[in-house]
Amino acid sequence: MRHPVLGDMPVTRPEETAPWTICITNGSTQYLYATDAEPGRLYKLSVPEGKILGKFGISGHELGQFNWAHGLACPAEDVIYVADMNNWRVQKLVVKGKR
């Protein structure tokens, strides 16, 4: 079974994704953040094009790693909360580059 892919990533890519949660920022320039079930990454995509602008994280139990990101909130363009179900935590991420 082939999972859908995020943005402009080709289906044949070895690191296929299974999108799980999404969140769209509320601002003049909107971004869509999405997490996948495996390999445990957070993606930043452009709206409305769907182009992947960046990705963060891997599967695991340390900070910056996710083990089934089950919820996502993005109250600001540069702040993301990731509810990580199997690690029993919520991680707050601050996107660098905005001053």
Out of 1-10, 36-45, 64-73, which region has the weakest mean confidence (pLDDT)? 1-10
DSSP code, position 41: -
Q: How many C-alpha atoms does 57 have within 13 Å on its Cβ side?
A: 30
Domain ranges of the chain: 19-94
The whole-number pLDDT of residue 71 equals 92
Please provide the CATH number assigned to the domain covering 19-94. Answer: 2.40.10.500
Q: What is the DSSP letter of 87?
A: G
Q: Does an H or E element contain 93, and which?
A: strand 89-94
Task: Note whether 86 and 66 are within 8 A (CB).
Answer: no
pLDDT(23) > 90: yes
Question: What is the per-residue pLDDT across 67-84, written as a single tens digit (0 to 9) for each?
Answer: 888 899 999 888 999 999
Question: For position 11, what pLDDT does the model report?
Answer: 46
Give the model's confidence band at 98: pLDDT under 50 very low, under 70 low, under 90 confident, else very high: very low
